[in-house]
Amino acid sequence: MAVDFLGFTPDQVAQNVGRFAGRTGQYVFISSASVYRKPSARLPVVKSVPLENPYTTYARGKTAC
């Protein structure tokens, strides 16, 4: 298993997927709660909350990935 928490742009993630293709059984991309809709309409933040945080470059990049 390969776990990627350092990808911040779609190009970086695509490159990492290519690096691990055929070398691992599973590739896991980790983001953070910052990608979910802000302000949060509901707590706790769960996977069903829309990916929509236009306020930070970090959140926009992770969402694009």
Locate the domains of the chain by residue range.
Answer: 2-64
Burial code (b: 16+ CB inside 10 Å, e: under 16) for 22-59 equals: eeeeebeeebeeebbebeeeeeeeeeebeeebeeeeeb
Q: Which of 8, 2, 5, 3 is nearest to 22 (CA)?
A: 2
pLDDT tens digit sequence for 18-50: 999 999 999 999 988 889 998 887 788 888 899
* Entry pTM: 0.78
* Confidence band, pLDDT 50/70/90 cuts, at residue 1: very high
Give the rounded percent of residues in the chain with a pLDDT score beyond 70. Answer: 100
pLDDT at 32: 85
End-to-end Cα distance, the chain: 19
In which band, very low, low, confident or very high, does the pLDDT at 65 lie, cut at 50, 70 and 90? very high
